[in-house]
Amino acid sequence: MNEELTNRMLVVVEVTTARPDRPAYHAKVQVLNSRVVAEAKAAGWSVTRVAAADVTPADLSRLTADADALVIVGGEDITPSYYGGTTGYEGETAHFATADEGQISLVQRALALGTPLLGICRGLQIINVALGGTLVQHIDDGIHKNTDVPIDQILSTHDVTLAAGSTLAWSLGRVDISVQSAHHQIVDRLGAGLLAAAHAPDGLIEALEHESAPIVGVQWHPEAPDSPVDQLSLLLAGLTAQHDARVRVEAPITSALAA
């Protein structure tokens, strides 16, 4: 087997490694992010974990330069100036502009290079903003987030319908799924080249994917402990398939150039 197919490097990009002012929230985020790392390792990936707020955007680019695939995980709201929004909105969280800048650049580079990319929750929103899209800054929580509960109960379970023929439907093997989410912002205007790949029962976009590049984002949390048991593994398997397909296409071209 091609060595590149057996030595895949995945970089999991989170927001920050420290939230001393919000220990309960930070602990919850760490549980979720650690599950992504563990599942990816179990699937055969060599995994590196990087916090985008803890390094400069230039260093983030350098640290992820050799990645065969990327996962941008959840966290705080994106700084509104990156999508033409303003501060002072309902439910506003802390912002990490350095992380926003670095992660946006990663999406743009992934698009240019054809690097497989999965965005989870905030990661979906980063994908959309990086490609020129906008966000609805606050929604009535409805089915998307439990309110006035301890952090361990914040995830809400609801149904999602995937677009038939979408990459996500192919990866998950069905169009009707159950998910867990905890978000108060959603996609407004789609970024360039992005398609809505799933909707919640209230009609809000729950996933997106690029029309030609291997870029997918889900607004829910497949890495949550109570999510359907195979959901995260199937999404990671989709990244593997996208990477392997890319290597198989590029290998003959590289061989021909070398000859």
Q: Determine the pLDDT at residue 84.
A: 97
Question: Could you tell me if residue 79 is inside a domain?
Answer: yes
| Residue 43 lies inside a defined structural domain of this protein | yes
Residue 258's pLDDT is 55
Per-residue confidence of the chain (259 residues) as pLDDT tens digits?
Answer: 344 555 899 999 999 999 999 999 999 999 999 999 999 999 999 999 999 999 999 999 999 999 999 999 999 999 999 999 999 999 999 999 999 999 999 999 999 999 999 999 999 999 999 999 999 999 987 899 988 899 989 999 999 999 999 999 999 999 999 999 999 999 999 999 999 999 999 999 999 999 999 999 999 999 999 999 899 999 999 999 999 888 877 655 444 445 5
Cα 27 to Cα 235: distance, rounded to the nearest angstrom: 24
Q: Is 199 a catalytic residue?
A: no
Burial category of 91 from C-beta neighbours within 10 Å (exposed 0-12, middle 13-18, buried 19 and up): middle
Is residue 28 one of the residues assigned to a domain? Answer: yes
* Contact in structure between 158 and 144 (CB atoms under 8 Å): yes
Catalytic: 221?
A: yes
CATH of the domain at 182: 3.40.50.880
Query: Is residue 189 a part of any domain in this protein?
Result: yes
Range list of H helices, the chain: 3-6, 23-42, 57-63, 97-113, 122-130, 167-172, 231-258
Q: Which of 243, 230, 242, 179 is nearest to 42 (CA)?
A: 230
Catalytic site residue from 39, 144, 223, 243: 223
- 3-state SS record for 132-193: CCCEECCCCCCCCCCCCCCHHHCCEEEEEEECCCCHHHHHHCCCEEEEEECCCCEECCCCCC
Backbone angles phi, psi at 238, to 5 degrees: -65, -40
- 250 part of the active site: no
Tens digits of residue pLDDT in 150-205: 998 999 999 999 999 999 999 999 999 999 999 999 999 999 999 999 999 999 99
- Segment 14-27, tens digit of pLDDT: 999 999 999 999 99
Based on the structure, what is the number of domains in the chain? Answer: 1
The answer to whether residue 258 sits within a structural domain is no
Active-site hit among 121, 183, 184, 210: 121
The answer to whether the CB of 6 falls within 8 A of the CB of 244 is no
Is residue 2 situated within a structural domain? Answer: no
Please tell me the distance from the alpha carbon of residue 209 to that of residue 196, in angstroms, as a whole number. 7
- Asked if residue 253 is part of any domain, the answer here is no
Residues 6+ apart with CB under 8 A from 59: none
pLDDT, residue 256, reads: 47
Domain containing residue 57: 9-248
Contact call for residues 53 and 15 (beta carbons, < 8 A)? yes
* Spatial separation of the C-alpha atoms in residues 219 and 224, rounded to whole Å: 12
